[in-house]
Amino acid sequence: MYQLSSVTQTYERRGQIVTALDNADLTIPDNDFIAIVGPSGSGKTTLLSVLGGMLAPSTGDVMLDGESLYDLSVEERTALRGRKIGFVFQSFNLISWLTARENVQIPLMLSGKTAKQQEDRAMEMLDRVGLSDRTDHRPSEMSQGQQQRVALARTLANDPQIILADEPTGNLDSETRQQVMNYLNEFHQDGRTIVMVTHDADTAAFAHRTIRLVAGVTHEVSMAKAA
């Protein structure tokens, strides 16, 4: 479970202090599915970075499973991300010269799995997202939707309990967006916590809760039924 208490994040831009998060309070129980919405510049991606242990807040506390996230060292946070948190990005972040299978193997290699464990798990995850026939294809040989599904398989590789998704359907057509959200919904039904940033109302409707960020302030605006 996440517990954010009075989290403020400021930075300097052109000599001016900008407040990205303003005294934000937020509780995210285990197995929640939350959409974070709001206008451009409202602090959505900043909030996701704070939750992911990548950006220490200026003030306030971020608790994850009863542990203060930013009391940990950089090395400890990196290890925690490898164990507990998976990331999905709008831009896929696949390595262009690696195959789908090799891209999925990266987090497994970093976590110390053997070569056979890496390959077996990568094949299992690619099969789960319907890409068992694309394992040896490189990103340039796949559609955008297929590339995002490879990214989803890579996210699942180390079996994270939390998935942080930043505009996961932003570059996709409506049919492919539906497929990707169906997969995220499946991952949630497996017991995972999903926190998703989106600007799209149809995508946000998949979540159980919607949190709107306005000028860095959190407002809960709905308790929606998942699609």
Six token digits for residue 164? 């942080």
| Confidence at residue 13, expressed as pLDDT on a 0 to 100 scale | 81
Segment 218-223 long-range contacts (CB within 8 Å, at least 24 positions apart)? 218/24, 218/25, 218/26, 218/47, 221/37
CA dihedral (74, 125, 167, 202) positive or negative:
negative
| Confidence at residue 174, expressed as pLDDT on a 0 to 100 scale | 87
Burial-class residue 67 by CB neighbours within 10 Å (0-12, 13-18, 19+).
exposed
Average pLDDT, the chain: 91
Domain boundaries, the chain: 2-223
Residue with tokens 């989290």: 7
Six token digits for residue 98? 């690696």
- CATH superfamily assigned to domain 2-223: P-loop containing nucleotide triphosphate hydrolases (3.40.50.300)
Q: Record the pTM.
A: 0.89
The residue with greater pLDDT, 136 or 221, is: 136
Over residues 139-160, the pLDDT tens digits come to: 999 999 999 999 999 999 999 9
Over residues 61-86, the pLDDT tens digits come to: 999 999 999 999 999 999 999 889 99
Six token digits for residue 37? 């919405």
